[in-house]
Amino acid sequence: MDYKHIFVGAVNQFLQFYKGTRVVSFQLRFCLGMDCSNNIDQWISFANKMGAENTTLCFDCGWECLGPTGRYKREEMYVFGSELLSQATEFKLNCLRLRACKLGHNLPRYLRILELVEVPLVLSEVQTICSCCLSLLSLFLINCKLPFKLRISAPLLHLRTLIIDGCRGVEEIELSAVNLCRYEYYSTLWANHSLLLVPKLEEVYFQVSHEQSAHYIFHQLAKELPNLRMLHVVTIVNWVSIPKSIVIFSKVETLELYFGRRMEFDVLKMTAILRAFPLLQKFYLQTRCSIDFEQGRELDPNDHVHEHLKEVHLAGFYGTSSQIKFAIYLLKNAPALKRLVIDPKEKCGLVDSYRQVPRRERKNRSWNEGERERVCEQVQEFSKDVLLVI
């Protein structure tokens, strides 16, 4: 049965009912390619004429209905951005989401949000985005094939948020966006970064999968981003190298560290990290260590005071000796601490933060019988005026 032909006919018939109607949002989800380009162009033209501000075009329904690979080849993909959209400025297209297609040489000028999923991009197509979308506020590149060197350049003067998630092919990333405030990079393949020309960048999210990426984050990032306020680091490997000393992050107020695999990890070494964040106010740490790998280890004697630290959340807490000692250390050395959460549950570190929803859920552990009471008993006497949530 030719489902594609049936779908095209059904859409054409359905749209007849909406002629002359104001349309705010237009969404199309079906496996279509260049062989249906005339129909797709007509549908986009219809959405524009009806004044659609948000358009989503997904040419991958998620099922293997296109043959052995379940995907169109690049040359078979629908090409978005022909002369058809040169009129889009009249119709206030603010948000555009594309999946499993290609970009042409023209994009709506007044776009505010552009999300590309499984869209292969060459250098000229990246330049099209930078030169056409001058009002762009947010750019999302998800599971895309990118050029070896990705350069987001100066014409995007209004760009505030850039997220690169699960993309391949890129090995160098250079950002030159004077108003960029938030940047996220998630990938098992590290790309060398140049962030010297993003003076307003305050929030950074990184995935650590190589020694190279860990070294960059803990030794180079603070030098490139002196105004950084929030740092989120997630690792999905079964190792983590905690340096004894790192470059000082002089303005960071929120630090979130997610260690997503079981590993040989000594939580007491986190004190070296905390000392590098003198203005830290919120600290979130997730580990997956059910035993102490350095039995009997004590904290190095120091009287360092984390005078601005107000809120701490320790997730994946098993109540080991080192974890208890670290919790007590925080209670003793953070005089401004207002809230300490000790939670056996593991929160998901890989988060679609731009949608504010977790990518996947884990089966979370809970306290064993008597375990919660034991932890409470050991840390309660040091809590003083701190709200202790266990």
Q: Which comes out higher in pLDDT, residue 146 or 383?
A: 146
Percentage, residues of the chain above pLDDT 90: 33
Residue type, 18: Y
Rounded to whole angstroms, the Cα distance separating 135 from 129 reads 11
Residues 6+ apart with CB under 8 A from 310: 281, 282, 334, 336, 337, 338, 339
pLDDT of residue 66: 46
Q: Is the pLDDT of residue 22 over 80?
A: yes
Residue type, 363: K
Q: Which two tokens stand for residue 77?
A: 């993909």
Rounded to whole angstroms, the Cα distance separating 83 from 97 reads 18
pLDDT of residue 166: 92
pLDDT of residue 297: 58
Rounded to whole angstroms, the Cα distance separating 68 from 62 reads 13
Domain layout of the chain by residue ranges: 202-390
Q: Whole-structure pTM over 0.85, yes or no? A: yes
Q: Which two tokens stand for residue 198?
A: 């993003």
Rounded to whole angstroms, the Cα distance separating 54 from 239 reads 43
Q: Is the pLDDT of residue 352 over 60?
A: no
> Is the separation of the CB atoms in 305 and 332 below 8 Å?
no
Q: Which comes out higher in pLDDT, residue 243 or 324?
A: 324
Q: Which comes out higher in pLDDT, residue 70 or 294?
A: 294
Q: Classify residue 283 by burial, with Cβ atoms within 10 Å: 0-12, 13-18, 19+.
A: buried
